């Protein structure tokens, strides 16, 4: 038997892979990596389905803390939203999942490794890149990509094999995790259709506005409504509160790694609340140039993570910068939740730079005189005057 490790989620694509590969003579070891999307009950159901479809073994790896510590923390520090919209919900998870799976494959001396990515998406790049760098000796097998299968063809095959899944749910590709849930379907393959309400895992159940206080220390979430906990626990608790308001839904349009445009729906209540709250606190506690430089580096960091380049040494360099920038990002952020939206109301922080004694914006200054201000403005205008004089910019 040929020992093969399959990145297994229990969804349509990986179910197809498991069934076909087990029938082709492979000794399939199914591995799911929990980055926030699976409950204990769901993991047990995954295990039962894996064995029913021919898996030799099944293993669930809990990578929640690893996911937070290695990636999510830096996405918060950087306020990373791809195209100012998407919190990298799935792309961030795939990096950790790929690393955990390849390490497991090496631990059991697997000769092959498989995943259910198609040939038209980003995940194929993320998985293959990590696998090739960390274990170039292990052969990669990708049935969906190689056979160019449609979702309908996969469903028909599994039905023929007597495999029953939730076919209605299978109409949408749903990836749920700690840092948000992506939703793909026939609507997201167009440029004009939106996802129906029923496509989202969370439904609107709360309509009365709710006050929420998020507390940060050195940029990390340490409290929710006065109750302290680990960042991981607090993210999950905030998600349970905010998802009742159907907050954090949107459709992201972006450039894929392979050069085509792509659309994907998502809901990410906790990630968007945390990123926006954290960003507001930074506006109060960081200098102008800290914010300017960090925004550029964080955008680059998010793009490289999205494209699977997590293992490049520059990523560790940027993480060091992001961590250093968070020394003064301390305090509370006040938020009100409403159906489908939220309001950032303000902050309180011991490092709030608005509390300085030099003056209040638009009001009275205390640290300089009127003549000081006039001289500063005159000198600041010099470069513009020189350019205009040399280039006669006032003349058409």
Q: What is the pLDDT of residues 190-206, one digit of tens each?
A: 999 999 999 998 999 99
pLDDT of residue 39: 86
pLDDT of residue 350: 96
Please tell me the class of the 2-171 domain.
alpha beta
pLDDT of residue 360: 62
Give whole-number Cα distances, 283 to 26, 117, 219, 330, in Å: 55, 40, 12, 12
Lowest-confidence pick of 149-153, 288-292, 297-301: 149-153
- Of 165 and 342, more confident: 342
Q: Which backbone phi and psi does 362 adopt, to 5 degrees? A: 80, 0
* 3-state percent helix, strand, coil for the chain, nearest multiple of 5: 45, 20, 30
| Residue 348 buriedness (CB in 10 A; 0-12 / 13-18 / 19+) | middle
Q: What SS3 class is residue 175?
A: strand
For the chain, percent of residues with pLDDT exceeding 90: 78
pLDDT of residue 117: 92
Domains 2-171 and 176-348 share a fold: no
**Does the structure show a pLDDT above 90 at 91?**
no
Euclidean distance between CA atoms 337 and 29, whole angstroms: 44
**Does the structure show a pLDDT above 70 at 166?**
no
pLDDT of residue 38: 83
Q: What SS3 class is residue 139?
A: strand
Domain ranges of the chain: 2-171, 176-348, 356-391
CB atoms within 10 A of CB 217: 14
CB 373 within 8 A of CB 352: no
pLDDT of residue 44: 94
Mean pLDDT of 252-269: 93
User: How does the average pLDDT of the chain come out, rounded?
Assistant: 93
pLDDT of residue 367: 80
**Does the structure show a pLDDT above 60 at 239?**
yes
Q: What is the CATH number of domain 176-348?
A: 3.90.1260.10
């Amino acid at each position: 038997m040929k020992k093969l490790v399959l990145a297994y989620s229990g969804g349509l694509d990986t179910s197809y892979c498991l069934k076909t590969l087990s029938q082709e003579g492979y000794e399939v070891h199914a591995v799911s990596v929990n980055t926030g999307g699976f409950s204990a009950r769901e993991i047990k159901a995954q295990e039962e389905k894996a064995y029913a479809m021919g898996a030799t073994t099944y293993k669930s790896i809990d990578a929640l803390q690893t996911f937070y510590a290695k990636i999510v923390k830096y996405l918060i520090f950087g306020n990373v939203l791809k195209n100012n919209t998407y919190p990298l919900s799935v792309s961030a998870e795939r990096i950790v999942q790929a690393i955990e799976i390849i390490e497991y494959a090496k631990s059991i001396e697997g000769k092959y490794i498989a995943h259910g990515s198609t040939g038209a998406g980003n995940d194929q790049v993320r998985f293959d890149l990590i696998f090739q760098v960390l274990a170039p000796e292990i052969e990669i097998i990708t049935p969906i990509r190689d056979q160019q299968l449609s979702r309908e063809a996969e469903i028909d095959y599994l039905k023929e094999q007597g495999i029953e899944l939730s076919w209605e749910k299978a109409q949408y590709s749903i990836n749920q995790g700690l840092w948000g849930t992506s939703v793909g379907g026939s609507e997201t393959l167009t440029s004009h259709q939106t996802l129906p309400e029923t496509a989202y895992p969370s439904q609107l159940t709360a309509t009365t506005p709710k006050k929420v206080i998020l507390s940060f220390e050195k940029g990390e979430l340490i409290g929710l409504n006065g109750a302290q906990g680990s960042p991981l626990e607090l993210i999950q608790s905030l998600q349970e509160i905010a998802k009742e308001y159907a907050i954090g839904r949107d459709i992201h349009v972006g450039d894929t790694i392979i050069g085509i445009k792509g659309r994907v729906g998502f809901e990410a209540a906790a990630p968007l609340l945390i990123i926006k709250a954290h960003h507001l606190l930074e506006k109060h506690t960081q200098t102008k140039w800290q914010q300017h430089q960090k925004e550029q580096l964080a955008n680059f960091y998010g793009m490289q993570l999205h494209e699977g380049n997590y293992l490049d040494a520059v990523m560790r360099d940027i993480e060091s910068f992001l961590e250093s920038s968070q020394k003064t990002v301390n305090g509370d952020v006040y938020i009100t939740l409403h159906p489908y939206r939220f309001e950032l109301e303000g902050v309180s922080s011991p490092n709030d730079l608005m509390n300085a004694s030099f003056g209040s914006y638009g009001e009275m200054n205390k640290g300089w005189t009127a003549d000081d201000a006039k001289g500063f403005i005159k000198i600041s205008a010099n470069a513009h005057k020189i350019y205009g004089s040399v280039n006669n910019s006032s003349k058409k």
